[in-house]
């Protein structure tokens, strides 16, 4: 899942490479992930051609691409919610089109911007600016994890409505937004917290450690991603993470093998020694 650090780098890349470029051709190869709210779906290719990229923004795990006004004077937006495997690919037309490519935009410089999604569960919205509140989960997110950090007291206030396991609370996006399954494993490892510990059971010291890790781990990943992703913004770079994706490998802190389990359809990697805790009946409890 692309998360705040990934999308931060992708947004910057798009801004530097696409600003001012005009869409000369649009192809919806597979309509399943497309949500055309501004025009009828069949009218999208004609409506978007001739518009230029003007602005780029990110909110949590959503990416927005602003388009200039068309012949009717109306503005448009492309908003991408990549979910688990959605990705934007910027490449030459000669590059092989991946099987799960849904949208291809040919640009005035001859390059293409494509949306691919192996799991087919992401969403690409085509809409007007005043339709933004209609996008599910976009406007009800908590403060962005890469924005100015909340104070510790503000952070505690945002956590108060939640009673579930720490990992589930952080990935849900209501307390803070932009953290997904990969970076939550890294945040909890940095904080020394068992992923399935109930939020309400955290001590003052643990809350302080969580607060620090939430705002340092994703931010520290950005320069690494900028260097490693380069022009391959569709590539998910995760191998530099300390525990996520490292199941059964030695913990970088203590050497204990990292535990790798699946719960509620999500993978969790953590160190039993550095993040002590227990599973009820051998399995984590779910919570909200």
Q: Please check whether residue 191 lies inside any domain of the structure.
A: yes
Same domain, yes or no: 77 and 172:
no
Of 24-33, 63-72, 277-286, the least confident: 277-286
Same domain, yes or no: 23 and 118:
yes
Q: Please check whether residue 20 lies inside any domain of the structure.
A: yes
DSSP-derived secondary structure letter, 256? P
Band the pLDDT of 133: cuts 50, 70, 90.
very high
Q: Which of 103, 134, 165 lies at the terminal end of a domain, its last residue?
A: 134
Q: Please check whether residue 277 lies inside any domain of the structure.
A: no
Same domain, yes or no: 163 and 223:
yes
The pLDDT of residue 160 is above 70: yes
Q: Please check whether residue 107 lies inside any domain of the structure.
A: yes
pLDDT of residue 288: 31
Residue 255 maps to which CATH number?
1.10.8.50
The backbone torsions φ and ψ at residue 236, rounded to the nearest 5 degrees and listed phi first, read -85, 115
Over residues 260-265, the mean pLDDT reads 80
Over residues 144-157, the mean pLDDT reads 96
Same domain, yes or no: 9 and 128:
yes
Same domain, yes or no: 230 and 109:
no
Of residues 263 and 128, more confidently modeled: 128
Same domain, yes or no: 161 and 252:
yes
The pLDDT of residue 127 is above 80: yes
Q: Which of 100, 134, 168 lies at the terminal end of a domain, its last residue?
A: 134
Residue 56 maps to which CATH number?
3.20.190.10
Band the pLDDT of 243: cuts 50, 70, 90.
very high
Average pLDDT, the chain: 93
Same domain, yes or no: 8 and 110:
yes
Closest CA to 148 of 208, 221, 219: 219
Same domain, yes or no: 98 and 157:
no
Over residues 39-57, the mean pLDDT reads 96
Of 63-72, 171-180, 223-232, the least confident: 63-72
Same domain, yes or no: 210 and 119:
no
Q: Please check whether residue 286 lies inside any domain of the structure.
A: no
Q: Please check whether residue 141 lies inside any domain of the structure.
A: no
Q: Please check whether residue 279 lies inside any domain of the structure.
A: no
pLDDT of residue 69: 87
Cβ neighbours of residue 197 under 8 Å, at least 6 residues apart?
165, 166, 277
The 10 Å Cβ neighbour count of residue 189 is 26
Over residues 19-26, the mean pLDDT reads 97
E-assigned strand segments in the chain:
23-28, 34-36, 53-59, 62-67, 76-81, 86-91, 101-107, 112-117, 123-127, 259-263, 266-270
Over residues 151-167, the mean pLDDT reads 94
The pLDDT of residue 168 is above 80: yes
- The pLDDT tens digits for 211-233 are 999 999 999 999 999 999 999 99
Whole-number Å distance between alpha carbons of 194 and 254 = 15
Identify the domain containing residue 186 by its residue range: 152-270
Q: Please check whether residue 280 lies inside any domain of the structure.
A: no
The pLDDT of residue 280 is above 80: no
Over residues 13-26, the mean pLDDT reads 97
Q: Which of 76, 106, 134 lies at the terminal end of a domain, its last residue?
A: 134
Same domain, yes or no: 60 and 19:
yes
The pLDDT of residue 242 is above 60: yes
Q: Let me know how long the chain is.
A: 288
Same domain, yes or no: 129 and 161:
no
> Structural domain tally of the chain?
2
pLDDT of residue 71: 73
pLDDT of residue 286: 38
pLDDT of residue 87: 96
Question: Sheet holding 86-91: strands in order across?
Answer: 23-28, 101-107, 112-117, 86-91
Same domain, yes or no: 130 and 160:
no
The pLDDT of residue 169 is above 80: yes
């Amino acid at each position: 899942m692309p998360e705040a650090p990934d999308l931060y780098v992708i947004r910057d890349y798009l801004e530097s490479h696409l600003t001012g470029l005009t869409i000369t051709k649009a192809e919806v190869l597979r309509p399943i992930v497309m949500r055309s709210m501004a025009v009828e779906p069949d009218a999208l290719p004609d409506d978007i051609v001739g518009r230029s990229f003007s602005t780029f923004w990110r909110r949590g795990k959503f990416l927005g691409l602003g388009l200039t006004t068309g012949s009717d004077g109306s503005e448009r937006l492309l908003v991408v919610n990549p979910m688990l495997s959605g990705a934007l690919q910027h490449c030459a037309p000669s590059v092989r089109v991946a099987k799960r490519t849904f949208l291809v935009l040919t640009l005035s410089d001859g390059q293409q911007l494509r949306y691919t999604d192996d799991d087919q569960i992401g969403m690409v919205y085509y809409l007007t600016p005043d339709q933004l509140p209609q996008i599910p989960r976009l406007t009800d997110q908590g403060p962005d994890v890469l924005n100015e950090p909340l104070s510790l007291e503000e952070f505690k206030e945002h956590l108060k409505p939640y009673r579930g396991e720490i990992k589930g609370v952080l990935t849900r996006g209501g307390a803070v937004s932009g953290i997904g399954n990969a970076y939550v494993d890294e945040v909890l490892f940095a904080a020394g917290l068992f992923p399935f510990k109930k939020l309400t059971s955290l001590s003052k010291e643990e809350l302080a450690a969580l607060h620090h890790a939430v705002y340092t781990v994703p931010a520290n990943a950005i320069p690494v991603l900028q260097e490693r992703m380069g022009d391959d913004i569709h590539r998910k770079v995760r191998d530099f993470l300390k525990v996520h994706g490292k199941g059964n490998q030695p913990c970088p802190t203590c050497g204990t093998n990292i535990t790798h389990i699946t719960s509620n359809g999500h993978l969790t990697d953590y160190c039993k020694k550095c993040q002590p805790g227990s599973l009820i009946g051998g399995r984590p409890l779910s919570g909200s």
